[in-house]
């Protein structure tokens, strides 16, 4: 039964992704074609440079025209607009994003997919670590707040949540760099690792050392919100009748909290954790640029700076794919934790 | 819902709201923000900052990357602050057809580091000659600049003592300096540091400040009767400047930050209002219509839900280069999904109420039921979520501006931070350029968070603390 639910959800998620890709292709069609056309011209130019110089000018123009026509047919540029949009979306879905105009991957390749693929794990590493620490701290504080709801501690920390509510994490990042990297020089100002990177075990130490500052910044802003949400979730549960019943039975408060309330609170808390991870991708990704953390967010900065449209587009498609994937996984986990969901529908 | 019911509802809500202290605090902050928009010209030294932010001539009298003036309070070496001096003693003398006017400006100098530049301003018609000199507290009078103006039919005159009196001030300093053996490059000597230093050996190399009252004298020769020089004043570009200092393009940050308030309010409120209105209407419609319409609307909603907002906004801004209005529209297009889920579930409950059934029995149209009987019940919720969407809208706009994709005809906090980032403010520790814009974003977010959370508190009594 759960498997049926899983498969249905995955297919559904993929369908939405395909539709989104079509919409993006249609929306950005003109720009993408412009870059494609100028690339074709460039390719033809390099080809003619390598040609036999004994060609007459007429022959040369004919040759160029032929090559142009051939290339345009190759990239479906001679077809009507809707079919070009279709082919572009099809290419994206088969992970063919074309070649970058300026940017290169760390191994020097121009293939957009390779450039993006090497960034994905870095983004995931940074944000999952931050969210993980976030949730641990949020649980610790949120449970305390829920237990003593209305106390001074609860109130002041709630005010803390509101204070950081609209604070941009990248701004805090700038301040943190200014202080910890340039004034008190105890952390590196950015990057993934030192140059040249150390080998063996030291590599990981170095990586964590570089990760400390961005993760600290994300946690410093994020955990207030998670603590507040966890407090609300747990507080709502603590007011249920069965908690009252457990208390009247004389079960110790600790056991009520961790045994009874937490079991019910687990699904929404897991959802919240995943949702905040998704929110990081959807709203916080350029944070990486401040710390020059070479992930997907930093790629947006560089692609915009160098006006590299293929990379920008490819990055958008991959971010959307990750985001959709996250939403699907969220539903799958939720369905696993909360049996009521998967029964829903017609079954 | 009649007007009187509405009024009573608002009154009830206000009575509840009054009891939430941080909500009131948020309202006060919001009021202050709105007030700054209206009194903007009276609290900033550069009231045209909003429209001339990228006009370099508007800022040319300011120093480059100067810290705020109040830094002097915490520092042992006091730097002369920037200021505009208009007050002067004016006298006129007639010699035949020629008129000689003389304006004396008094400058009290009690700092350790001199201003970087002193600039004369005036508006000249005809062919006057402007002569500037300075009388020091020790009695020395130095003639600085002689600037003839040829046949102007009205133009701004700007004479920079720091640039145009290099020779004169050098010569003055050289009188006290033992120049044999060590040559001092004239280009290395700053005129203002000579003029405001004690006249003794070392004035060119290690100047020590001469405190006291200086007289800046502007003598103007007006050769014919139609010649005029008016609106004369001096500007001092100091080592420290204004409330929040200046950036590397000489712009006054306080003026910029205050100019950003109105744009932030506009972006936040307009986006939140549009998005929540669409979202609430959409959710209620979906709930009320039901059946295949509900399914279709939910599918469309899920399609929008799958869009990673910031990446899409970044790419759209990079490609379409929108102005601020299009940007607000774009954000509204994606923000509306936020309230839909909650509103739909609330709508499903309201739909079952008997008065909806009664309205249907009377033959009321769907649109009448939705807008007259269902949406008004959701207004409190709509306002609460509106308040909580304002900060997100502001942060999203700032994030896009931070990447340098903002509307370049206005000034927003994100754009100031973009300039700070590209201008090396973080690297060089120009904290007065980095902290204020972000702090204002955070403050604005906090304001609306206070208001929104307070409303939320009233709407969800279950979570209210015992």
ipTM of this predicted structure: 0.89
Q: Is B185 strand, coil or helix?
A: coil
Query: What pLDDT digit, counting tens, does each position of A95-136 carry?
Result: 888 788 777 877 778 888 888 888 899 999 999 999 999 999
In this complex, is the C-beta atom of B55 within 8 Å of any C-beta atom belonging to chain A?
A: no
Find chain B residues with C-beta within 8 A of A284's C-beta.
310
* Residue B99 reports pLDDT greater than 90: no
**Has residue B244 been placed in a domain?**
no
As a whole number of angstroms, the distance between CA B6 and CA B191 comes to: 70
In this complex, is the C-beta atom of B271 within 8 Å of any C-beta atom belonging to chain A?
A: no
As a whole number of angstroms, the distance between CA A155 and CA A157 comes to: 6
In this complex, is the C-beta atom of B371 within 8 Å of any C-beta atom belonging to chain A?
A: no
Structure confidence at residue B243 (pLDDT): 86
Confidence of residue B123 (pLDDT cuts 50, 70, 90): confident
C-alpha atoms less than 13 angstroms from C-alpha of B351 in its C-beta half-sphere? 16
B453:A327 CB<8 A: no
Q: How far is CA B85 from the centre of its chain?
A: 24
Which of A35-39, B334-338, B342-346, B398-402 comes out lowest in average pLDDT? A35-39
Among the candidates B207, B237, B267, a domain finishes at B237
A283:B309 CB<8 A: yes
Contact residues, B window 130-159, toward A, CB-based 8 Å cutoff? none
B381 and B281 in a common domain: yes
Task: Name residue A47's beta-bridge partners.
Answer: none
Among the candidates B202, B237, B272, a domain finishes at B237
* Residue B351 reports pLDDT greater than 90: no
Q: In what order do the strands lie in the sheet with B117-126?
A: B83-85, B228-237, B117-126, B152-160
Which of A153-157, B173-177, B262-266, B350-354 comes out lowest in average pLDDT? B173-177
Nearest chain B residue (CA) to A179? B429
Instruction: Kindly state the average pLDDT of the residues B41-49.
Output: 86
Choose the mutation target among B33, B265, B314, B431 for the interface with A, i.e. most A CBs under 10 Å: B314
Task: Name residue B113's beta-bridge partners.
Answer: B79
Structure confidence at residue B179 (pLDDT): 65
B175 and B269 in a common domain: no
**What averages of pLDDT result for each successive group of 10 residues across chain A (347 residues)?**
85 91 86 82 80 74 82 78 83 81 79 88 91 92 87 88 90 91 86 81 88 92 90 87 89 86 85 86 85 89 87 89 90 78 47
B384 and B274 in a common domain: yes
Structure confidence at residue B401 (pLDDT): 92
**Has residue B348 been placed in a domain?**
yes
A319:B429 CB<8 A: no
As a whole number of angstroms, the distance between CA B167 and CA A18 comes to: 73
Distance (Å) from the alpha carbon of A10 to chain B's nearest alpha carbon: 13
B309:A20 CB<8 A: no
The pLDDT mean for chain B works out to 86
Structure confidence at residue A333 (pLDDT): 85
A304:B310 CB<8 A: no
**Has residue B22 been placed in a domain?**
yes
Query: What pLDDT digit, counting tens, does each position of B50-68 carry?
Result: 888 888 888 888 888 888 8
B446:A282 CB<8 A: no
Contact residues, B window 381-410, toward A, CB-based 8 Å cutoff? 388, 390-392, 394-396, 398-399, 402-405
As a whole number of angstroms, the distance between CA B303 and CA B291 comes to: 19
B221 and B103 in a common domain: yes
Residue A263, phi then psi, degrees to nearest 5: -65, -40
B223 and B101 in a common domain: yes
Cα angle A70, A75, A77 (rounded to 5 degrees) comes to 85
Choose the mutation target among B25, B309, B311, B442 for the interface with A, i.e. most A CBs under 10 Å: B311
B113 and B158 in a common domain: yes
**Has residue B211 been placed in a domain?**
yes
Number of C-beta neighbours around residue A255 at 10 A = 11
Instruction: Kindly state the average pLDDT of the residues B418-436.
Output: 89
Number of C-beta neighbours around residue B458 at 10 A = 18
Per-residue b/e over B377-397, b at no fewer than 16 CB within 10 Å? bbebbbbbbbbbbbbbbbbbb
Tell the residue number behind the tokens 């006129």, with chain if given.
Answer: B92
Find chain A residues with C-beta within 8 A of B391's C-beta.
165-166
Tell the residue number behind the tokens 């206070």, with chain if given.
Answer: B450
Find chain B residues with C-beta within 8 A of A8's C-beta.
none
Task: Name residue B158's beta-bridge partners.
Answer: B121
Domain count, chain B: 2
Per-residue b/e over A68-105, b at no fewer than 16 CB within 10 Å? beebeeebbbeeeeeebbbebbebbbeeebbebbebeb
Give the pairing of strands B212-222 and B152-160: unpaired
Instruction: Kindly state the average pLDDT of the residues B246-254.
Output: 88
Contact residues, B window 427-466, toward A, CB-based 8 Å cutoff? 427, 429, 431, 434-435, 437-438, 441-442, 444-446, 448-450, 453, 462-463, 465-466
B21 and B87 in a common domain: no
B442:A163 CB<8 A: yes
Domain containing residue B84: CATH number: 2.60.120
Higher-pLDDT residue of A103 and B348 is: B348
**Has residue B136 been placed in a domain?**
yes
Tell the residue number behind the tokens 């507080």, with chain if given.
Answer: A235
Structure confidence at residue A347 (pLDDT): 36
Higher-pLDDT residue of B178 and B454 is: B454
Find the Cα–Cα–Cα–Cα dihedral A206, A207, A210, A212, rounded to 10°.
-110
B371 and B267 in a common domain: yes
Q: Of the candidates B232, B185, B256, B201, which has an alpha carbon nearest to the alpha carbon of residue B40?
A: B256
* Residue B332 reports pLDDT greater than 60: yes
* Residue B149 reports pLDDT greater than 50: yes
Count of H-run helices and E-run strands, chain A: 16, 0
Which residues are within 8 A (CB) of B146 and not within 5 positions of it... i.e. 6 or more apart?
B129, B130, B131
Confidence of residue B327 (pLDDT cuts 50, 70, 90): very high
Q: Of the candidates A36, A41, A50, which has an alpha carbon nearest to the alpha carbon of residue A85?
A: A36
**Has residue B68 been placed in a domain?**
no
Confidence of residue B182 (pLDDT cuts 50, 70, 90): low
Of B307, B390, B437, the CB nearest to A20: B307
Structure confidence at residue B1 (pLDDT): 57
Among the candidates B208, B237, B266, a domain finishes at B237
Confidence of residue B271 (pLDDT cuts 50, 70, 90): very high
B228 and B128 in a common domain: yes
A285:B438 CB<8 A: no
Range of the domain at B350: 3-44+253-463
How is A127-175 classified by DSSP, letter by letter?
A: HHHHHHHHHHHHHHHHHHHHHTTTSHHHHHHHHHHHHTTT--HHHHHHH
B261 and B231 in a common domain: no
The CA-atom distances, in angstroms, between B351 and each of A128, B329, B338 are 41, 31, 21
**Has residue B63 been placed in a domain?**
no
* Residue B103 reports pLDDT greater than 70: yes
B98 and B40 in a common domain: no
Contact, B353 vs B235, CB < 8 A? no
**Has residue B58 been placed in a domain?**
no
Domain containing residue B320: CATH number: 1.10.3720.10
As a whole number of angstroms, the distance between CA A319 and CA A13 comes to: 15
Cα angle B371, B377, B383 (rounded to 5 degrees) comes to 100
Which of B7-11, B249-253, B257-261 comes out lowest in average pLDDT? B7-11
Report how far apart the first and last C-alpha atoms of chain B are (Å, whole number). Answer: 33
Contact, A113 vs A69, CB < 8 A? no
B296 and B175 in a common domain: no
């Amino acid at each position: 039964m759960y498997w049926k639910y899983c498969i249905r959800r995955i297919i559904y998620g993929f369908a939405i992704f395909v539709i989104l890709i079509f919409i993006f292709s249609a929306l950005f069609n003109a720009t993408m074609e412009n870059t494609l056309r100028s690339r074709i011209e460039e390719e033809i130019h390099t080809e003619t440079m390598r040609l036999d110089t004994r060609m007459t000018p007429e022959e040369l123009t004919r040759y160029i025209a032929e090559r142009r026509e051939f290339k345009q047919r190759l990239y479906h540029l001679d077809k009507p607009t809707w079919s070009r949009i279709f082919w572009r979306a099809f290419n994206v879905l088969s992970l063919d994003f074309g070649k970058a105009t300026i940017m290169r991957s760390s191994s020097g390749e121009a293939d957009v997919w390779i450039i993006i693929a090497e960034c994905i794990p870095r983004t995931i590493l940074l944000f999952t670590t931050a969210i993980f620490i976030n949730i641990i701290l949020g649980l610790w504080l949120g449970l305390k707040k829920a237990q003593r709801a209305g106390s001074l501690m609860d109130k002041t920390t709630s005010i803390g949540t509101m204070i950081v509510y609209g604070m941009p994490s990248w701004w805090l990042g700038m301040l943190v760099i200014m202080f910890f990297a340039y004034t008190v020089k105890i952390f590196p100002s950015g990057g993934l690792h030192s140059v040249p990177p150390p080998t063996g075990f030291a590599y990981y130490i170095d990586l964590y050392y570089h990760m400390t500052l961005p993760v600290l910044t994300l946690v410093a802003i994020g955990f207030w919100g998670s603590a507040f949400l966890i407090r609300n979730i747990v507080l709502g549960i603590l007011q249920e009748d069965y908690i009252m019943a457990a208390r009247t039975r004389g079960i110790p408060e600790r056991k009520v909290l961790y045994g009874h309330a937490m079991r019910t609170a687990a699904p929404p808390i897991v959802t919240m954790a995943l949702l905040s991870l998704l929110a990081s991708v959807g709203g916080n990704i350029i944070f990486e640029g401040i710390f020059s953390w070479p992930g997907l967010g930093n790629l947006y900065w560089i692609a915009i700076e160098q006006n590299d449209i293929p990379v920008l587009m490819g990055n958008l498609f991959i971010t959307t794919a990750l985001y959709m994937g996250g939403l699907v996984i969220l539903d799958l986990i939720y369905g696993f934790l909360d049996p009521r969901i998967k029964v829903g529908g017609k079954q | 819902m009649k007007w009187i019911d509405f009024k009573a509802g608002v009154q009830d809500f206000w009575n509840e709201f009054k009891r939430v202290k941080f909500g009131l605090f948020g309202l006060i902050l919001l009021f202050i923000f709105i007030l700054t928009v209206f009194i903007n010209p009276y609290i900033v030294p550069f009231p045209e900052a909003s429209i001339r932010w990228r006009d370099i001539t508007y800022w040319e009298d300011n120093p480059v990357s100067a810290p705020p003036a109040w830094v002097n309070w915490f520092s042992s070496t006091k730097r002369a602050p920037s200021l505009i001096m208009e007050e002067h003693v004016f006298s006129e003398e007639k010699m035949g057809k020629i008129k000689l006017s003389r304006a004396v400006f008094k400058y009290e100098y009690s700092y350790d580091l001199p201003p970087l530049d002193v600039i004369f301003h005036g508006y000249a018609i005809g062919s006057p000659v402007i002569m500037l000199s300075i009388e020091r507290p020790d009695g020395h009078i130095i003639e600085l600049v002689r600037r003839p103006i040829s046949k102007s039919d009205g133009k701004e005159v700007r004479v920079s003592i720091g640039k145009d009196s290099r020779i004169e001030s050098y010569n003055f300093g050289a009188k006290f300096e033992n120049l044999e053996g060590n040559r001092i490059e004239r280009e290395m000597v700053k005129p203002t540091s000579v003029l405001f230093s004690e006249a003794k050996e070392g004035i060119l190399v290690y100047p020590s400040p001469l405190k006291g009252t200086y007289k800046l004298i502007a003598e103007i020769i007006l050769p014919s009767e139609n010649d005029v020089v008016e609106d004369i004043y001096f500007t001092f570009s100091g080592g420290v400047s204004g409330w929040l200092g200046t950036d590397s393009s000489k712009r006054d940050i306080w003026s910029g930050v205050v100019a950003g308030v109105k744009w932030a309010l506009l972006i936040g409120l307009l986006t939140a209002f549009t998005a929540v209105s669409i979202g609430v209407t959409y959710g209620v419609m979906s709930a009320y219509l039901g059946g295949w319409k509900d399914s279709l609307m939910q599918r469309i909603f899920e399609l929008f839900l799958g869009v990673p907002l910031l990446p899409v906004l970044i790419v759209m801004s990079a490609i379409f280069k929108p102005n601020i209005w299009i940007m607000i529209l774009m954000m509204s297009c994606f923000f509306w999904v936020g309230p839909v889920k909650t509103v739909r579930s609330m709508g499903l409950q309201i739909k079952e109420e008997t008065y909806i059934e009664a309205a249907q029995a009377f033959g009321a149209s769907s649109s009448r039921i939705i807008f007259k009987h269902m949406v008004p019940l959701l207004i409190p919720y709509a306002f609460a979520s509106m308040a909580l969407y304002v900060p997100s809208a502001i942060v999203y706009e700032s994030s896009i501006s931070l990447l340098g994709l903002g509307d370049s005809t206005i000034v927003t906090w994100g754009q100031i931070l973009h300039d700070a980032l590209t201008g090396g403010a973080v690297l060089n520790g120009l904290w007065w350029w980095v902290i204020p814009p972000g702090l204002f974003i955070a403050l604005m977010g906090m304001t609306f968070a206070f208001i929104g959370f307070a409303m939320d508190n009233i709407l969800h009594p279950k979570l209210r603390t015992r």
